[in-house]
């Protein structure tokens, strides 16, 4: 029995010019929503494009439900939905008729079946009331959800979504999250983001990618539990400098909240670890080496 889901082993990629974007990535993604979190330049898009078979790695292995993706890319392509970063402009075309055309291109030649699928897709992304409107009039959040509808044509087994929430307002982001969570109930959904909140309450598991390497992997709960009793915080007045050994720091209405990892220091109080602490901890090689 082959292993279900997406499995990545030792994936490497160095671009011409010498940038090593993937330095041996291992990933195992089961059905559900999986988060790939990392700063700009970490290699997220390179990994996503490689998994979508849009580009070739230098080395490594990828399987979907046990089938070798690099040897047989069509197996994956037939089961892949990829959220286009940019949906081209289709002046005057309604969402419904664009979906209808794209479904036709994917081989849905029966008009009645196509209509059922388009209805289902619009409902899935909460655009049933807006299908008649021109795509050109959609808001940023609606466009992102419409992109998901396009990616879902043909009921993919694997949905890859690269940095979809940038620029969405909180209500749109929540609505987008709910759509993804729903899809994750029966497909493998891989979501990349540099926004910690995107994965915090949404993903069943996540990886943190930095400099082409996975530096942390697990459920949000397990990753936070590893830092139990080791995270401290203090609020300092605005004019005071942030200590050099701070894990991270953020502005508050009255000053700066400084977060520390490791042993308690004078004046600091214990803090329940949050995913943002996990993220900064994982990105700090001196801390992870000492852990
Ligand atoms: N086509 C390319 N040619 C050369 N370097 C690239 C190319 N695409 C990405 N890179 C470099 O590879 C690294 C990883 O980029 P990318 O995969 O886009 O990361 P992320 O999506 O996490 O921001 C970066 O240093 C980036 O500049
Ligand atoms: Mg990217």
For residue 49, which ligand has an atom nearest its CA? Answer: 1
All domains of the chain in start order, with CATH: 6-217 (3.40.50.300), 224-290 (no CATH)
Please report the pLDDT score of residue 291 as a whole number.
62
**pLDDT tens for residues 99-133?**
999 999 888 899 999 999 999 999 989 899 999 99
Tell me if 91 CB under 6 Å of ligand 1. no
Give CA 46 to chain center in angstroms. Answer: 13
Tell me if 241 CB under 6 Å of ligand 1. no
Q: Round to whole Å and give the CA distance between 142 and 144.
A: 5
What is the whole-number distance in angstroms between the Cα of residue 13 and the centre of ligand 1?
Answer: 10
Q: Whose Cα sits closest to atom 24 in ligand 1?
A: 41
Tell me if 253 CB under 6 Å of ligand 1. no
Tell me if 45 CB under 6 Å of ligand 1. yes
Tell me if 19 CB under 6 Å of ligand 1. yes
Tell me the C-alpha to C-alpha distance, in Å, between residue 155 and each of 79, 91, 107, 148, 175.
8, 27, 13, 11, 20
Q: Whose Cα sits closest to atom 16 in ligand 1?
A: 43
Please report the pLDDT score of residue 88 as a whole number.
67
Is residue 203 within 8 Å of residue 34, measured between CB atoms?
yes
What is the whole-number distance in angstroms between the Cα of residue 45 and the centre of ligand 2?
Answer: 4
What is the whole-number distance in angstroms between the Cα of residue 64 and the centre of ligand 1?
Answer: 24
Please report the pLDDT score of residue 154 as a whole number.
86
DSSP symbol at 87: P
3-state secondary structure of 101: helix
> What parts of the chain have a pLDDT lower than 70?
1-2, 84-89, 289-291
Please report the pLDDT score of residue 290 as a whole number.
65
Tell me if 42 CB under 6 Å of ligand 1. yes
- DSSP alpha helix (H) spans, 107-211: 111-124, 140-151, 170-183, 196-200
Q: If you average pLDDT over every residue of the chain, what do you get? A: 91
- Is pTM beyond 0.85? Reply is yes
């Amino acid at each position: 029995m082959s292993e279900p889901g997406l499995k990545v082993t030792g994936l490497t990629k160095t671009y011409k010019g010498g940038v090593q974007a993937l330095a041996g990535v291992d990933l195992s993604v089961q059905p559900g929503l999986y988060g790939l979190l990392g700063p700009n330049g970490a290699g997220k898009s390179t990994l996503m494009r490689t998994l979508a078979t849009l580009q070739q790695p230098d080395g490594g292995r990828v399987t979907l439900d046990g089938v070798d993706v690099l040897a047989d890319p069509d197996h994956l392509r037939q089961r892949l939905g990829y959220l286009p970063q940019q949906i081209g402009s289709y002046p005057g075309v309604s969402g419904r008729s664009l979906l209808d055309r794209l479904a036709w291109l994917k081989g849905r030649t029966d008009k009645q079946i196509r209509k059922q699928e388009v209805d289902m897709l619009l409902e899935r992304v909460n655009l049933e009331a807006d299908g008649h409107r021109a795509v050109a009039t959609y808001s940023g959040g609606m466009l992102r959800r419409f992109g998901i509808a396009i990616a879902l044509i043909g009921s993919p087994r694997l949905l890859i979504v690269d940095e979809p929430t940038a620029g969405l307002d909180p209500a749109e982001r929540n609505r987008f999250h709910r759509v993804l969570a729903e899809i994750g109930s029966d497909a493998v959904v891989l979501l990349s983001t540099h926004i910690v909140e995107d994965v915090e309450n949404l993903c069943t598991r996540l990886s943190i990618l930095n400099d082409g390497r996975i530096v942390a992997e697990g459920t949000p709960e397990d990753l936070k539990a590893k830092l139990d009793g080791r995270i401290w915080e203090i609020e300092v007045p605005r004019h005071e400098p942030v200590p050099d050994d701070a894990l991270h720091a953020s502005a508050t209405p009255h000053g700066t909240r400084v977060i520390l990892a490791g042993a308690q220091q004078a004046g600091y109080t214990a803090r329940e670890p949050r995913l943002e602490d996990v993220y900064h901890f994982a990105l700090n090689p001196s801390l992870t080496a000492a852990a």
